[in-house]
Structure 1
Amino acid sequence: MPPGSPPVPRSGPPAVSAAARALAARCESRVNELARRMARDAFERLPGYPDLPADVKDVEIAATVRNGLRLFLRRVRDSQSRPGDYSLFRERAAQRAEEGMPLHTLLRSHSMGVYVLWQALRDEARSGEEEALIELVDFLLRGHEAIVGAVAETYLDERAALFAERREHHRSLVRGLLDGSLPPLRAFEELGLHGPSLVLHLHLPQGPDPAASAVAVRRRIRRVQMALDRTFDTEVVCLLGVGGGDAIVPRRADDLTGQHRCEELSSRLRQVCGSDVRLAAVAAETAADVPAAARTAAEVVRVARACGRPAGPHRMEDVLLEYHLSRRDESSDRIAALLDPIGDRPELLRTLRVYLEHRQDRRVSARHLELHPNTVDNRLTRITELTGLDLASPRGTALALAALLLRGDAPTP
């Protein structure tokens, strides 16, 4: 070849020698025997394989083995042909994934099949055919790599699809349980839940930008799900979105209120989503109690946010008065309207909220707001002038707190 000439591309693997083809041809009559040997003997040593039904071993698996053997022998006869049709391997991999066979068991069965075929070639080899045997083993291992890749890819794709399908089914069940569109006991049983539970409501800080990709949104939800699963040591059934959602977990005797695990979950979620993570857990004795428990948990979180409580786990005991004051009746709209005069003044609303949350201590409120105490005094005076509420009296303080809660104004970041 002249210097500088481009290399001539190879059209495929090197041709198999006549001696190697002759050796492989002597195994063709043993295809059925080898298939039975693998399906009924060699594979029996694999974990879980002995428990498979006899028809699966004798029909499906034996047919797959015969297909693999004939594919190998056909490629030996014509090594320049296409690598072969892996559709049956892919089909069987999808079936094994659906049946729950572990991937390592499936891949080990393919490797064991290669070993049995190598043994058959070795047994057929005669004196002087050592080079032909090495050539066939090299050819066998290169083909095995492609098959294992196709099998693993199909298996993982099928498992991912099954997982997504099951997760969506669980989401539908949780949605139906919470909104009352499904019978509670039926939904509970299908979700694999039994006995007393804890219903959690999660409020998460602003997630990915609205223009963010669907991948970023899914990644965030997946990380929240992982935090739930690790905290409660189970696959938690939940209905999650970017901003939070609801989850149902079994109640444990050593943590009846869920407070310890909620603190652990809050810590994990802060690492995933940021500092403004809020959650509450409410006990549900039966499946029928779950919808009410979910509403209560969501309301505890809403009240805690509205009255400026620090982020983290919230308990009903932490917001008992505020929760009571936030209940609606015929007077609610009139009480909420007391703050209408400052409704377009977020700095005044936030000052009022922080002032009430910090026990009407102007200096502590000033530090929290990063303002001078005199500025806080001026704002409080302005609130009194505009609303008529006397923040120095118990009645005025109670009315201001109730108005804040009934308005549902979220804390200003």
Structure 2
Amino acid sequence: MPNDLPPELRPDLPPDLRPDLRPDRHGSYPPLSPAAQALAARCESRVNELARHMARETFEQLPGYADLPADVKDVEIAATVRSGLRLFLRRVRDTRGRAGDFSLFRERAAQRADEGMPLHTLLRSHSTGVYVLWQALRAEAAEGEEGALIELVDFLLRGHEAIIGAVAETYLDEQAALSAERREHHRSLVRGLLDGSLPPSRAFDELGLEGPSLVVHVHLSKEEAPATPAVAGRRRVRRIQTVLDRTLGAGAVSLLGADGGHVIAPQPADDPDGVRVCAELATRIRQLCGDGVRLAAVTAAAAQDVPAAARTATEIVRVARACGRPPGPHRMDDVLLEYHLSRRDESSDRIAALLDPVGDRPELIETLRVHLEHRHDRRSTANHLGLHPNTVDNRLARITGLTGLDIASARGNALALAALLLRGDVPG
């Protein structure tokens, strides 16, 4: 009958006469009726019994719960359940209707996140506990106490909403912190592997790598990786990392910055040289970061070969940039001669010094680089630089006059190319 219900649930009362049971701005609820408080009080003697029942029987139906250590169930989880039951009963008695302290729930949520319990299992345990408490209240209610029972259930569900929010928030915060720690640990391992400060075998073991690997160098030009705020830079790295994970799989590890970095992945059986991988990565990263993406992949047969492979991949990209090759994936075969000419020996300093007379003239250096890349085609060079062909001729003549290099001859061409490579005069 409607008159048996508490006022807030009676349909025969107009809304303005029903009590408002919502919390105020301090999180406090209106006090419950004496009948509801009396019904809840009769369950206080069953707190320990209910806690044991939940920890040892009810929760066993939850995925993964049966695998937890016995002491976790009997000590931590049982204590949390007891605390939750007593918190509910304490809030029922509290005439000021305060929400209560959720610190233990937050502490346990952080522990479960650290232990790897799935969030859905943790939340289901709280919801299951609420259902068991509802069963206990229902069993305790006598005839004529239906209104008090409904009032308690309404109060129970409102409190459960707050607890679930606190638990989920703490779990996700802890999980994010743990994920950040793992990422930074992986970064430090990759950094140590690449710079030689860690034994390669140890770094490989901790990174979960084994066997032949593919070491990829990713480079973004300055135009595609400008000096952006820290947040934008981190967002760029996360998006590139997502592409790497999807293309190379979860086994890949990386050390990335806003301008690129290195990736180490298990060597694909169907793509041992990484040609397909680099082409796919170039396409996907270009969609995120623009056209100035360059990549090179080198195979490392074992852990100790990774640092050298990373240096080689970086050099391939540097040489390709120095030669003015368009962005995209690069292979050693693409820059074989140029790579050889860029190796340093006793003659390197003298060859590099051949361009010192124009070293302070970046427009001349750039014209020389583009002209060599475009196989001495003055019109193609002019189009690429946005100049008149006559301007290109004048600049080349100026270079010859200042350096003495006849770049139209085979010897002068080879010396000019080697000097560019050895100087590292590359575009951003």
Q: Which residue of 1 aligns with 2:34?
A: 18
C-alpha distance in 2, partners of 1:125/1:157? Answer: 40
- The CA deviation string for residues 81-112 of structure 1, in whole angstroms up to 9 with x for no partner, is 53212111111111110111111111111111
Structure 1 residue 79, shift from structure 2 partner: 4.5
Q: Which residue of 2 aligns with 1:392?
A: 408
Q: Which residue of 1 aligns with 2:16?
A: none
Q: Is the 8 A contact 1:198 1:284 kept in 2?
A: yes
Q: Structure 1 residues 350 and 85 mapped into 2: Cα distance closer, same or farther (>3 Å)? A: same
Q: Give the total of aligned pairs.
A: 403
Q: 2:57 aligns with which of 28, 34, 41?
A: 41
Q: Which residue of 2 aligns with 1:197?
A: 213
> Do structure 1's residue 142 and structure 2's residue 142 form an aligned pair?
no
Structure 1 residue 214, shift from structure 2 partner: 2.8
Q: Which amino acid aligns with 1:369?
A: L
> Do structure 1's residue 326 and structure 2's residue 326 form an aligned pair?
no
Q: Structure 1 residues 57 and 15 mapped into 2: Cα distance closer, same or farther (>3 Å)? A: same
Q: Which amino acid aligns with 1:130?
A: E
Q: Which residue of 1 aligns with 2:281?
A: 265
> Do structure 1's residue 84 and structure 2's residue 84 form an aligned pair?
no
Q: Which residue of 2 aligns with 1:232?
A: 248
Structure 1 residue 217, shift from structure 2 partner: 2.6
Which SS does the other structure have where 1:193 is aligned? coil
Q: Which residue of 1 aligns with 2:266?
A: 250
Q: Which residue of 2 aligns with 1:4?
A: none
Q: Which residue of 1 aligns with 2:237?
A: 221
> Do structure 1's residue 374 and structure 2's residue 390 form an aligned pair?
yes
Gaps of 5+ in 2: 1-23
Which SS does the other structure have where 2:181 is aligned? helix
Q: Which residue of 1 aligns with 2:175?
A: 159
Q: Is the 8 A contact 1:335 1:399 kept in 2?
A: yes
Q: Which residue of 1 aligns with 2:187?
A: 171
Q: Structure 1 residues 223 and 10 mapped into 2: Cα distance closer, same or farther (>3 Å)? A: closer
Structure 1 residue 215, shift from structure 2 partner: 2.3
Q: 2:290 aligns with which of 236, 257, 274?
A: 274
- The CA deviation string for residues 175-226 of structure 1, in whole angstroms up to 9 with x for no partner, is 111111211101100111011101111212337764x543233222222222
Structure 1 residue 273, shift from structure 2 partner: 2.5
Q: Is the 8 A contact 1:103 1:152 kept in 2?
A: yes
Q: 1:313 aligns with which of 312, 329, 332?
A: 329
Q: Which amino acid aligns with 2:361?
A: R
- The CA deviation string for residues 285-305 of structure 1, in whole angstroms up to 9 with x for no partner, is 100101111111111111111
Q: 2:320 aligns with which of 289, 304, 307?
A: 304
Q: TM-score, normalised by structure 2?
A: 0.90
C-alpha distance in 2, partners of 1:92/1:379? Answer: 72
C-alpha distance in 2, partners of 1:150/1:347? Answer: 62
Structure 1 residue 159, shift from structure 2 partner: 0.9
Q: Structure 1 residues 10 and 257 mapped into 2: Cα distance closer, same or farther (>3 Å)? A: closer
C-alpha distance in 1, partners of 2:84/2:113? Answer: 19
C-alpha distance in 1, partners of 2:225/2:387? Answer: 31
C-alpha distance in 1, partners of 2:330/2:124? Answer: 50
Q: TM-score, normalised by structure 1?
A: 0.94
> Do structure 1's residue 407 and structure 2's residue 423 form an aligned pair?
yes
Which SS does the other structure have where 1:336 is aligned? helix
C-alpha distance in 2, partners of 1:67/1:213? Answer: 46
Q: Is the 8 A contact 1:205 1:273 kept in 2?
A: no
- The CA deviation string for residues 348-374 of structure 1, in whole angstroms up to 9 with x for no partner, is 211111111122222222222222222
C-alpha distance in 2, partners of 1:239/1:134? Answer: 58
Moved more, 270-279 or 348-357: 270-279
Gaps of 5+ in 1: 1-8
Q: CA RMSD in A?
A: 1.7
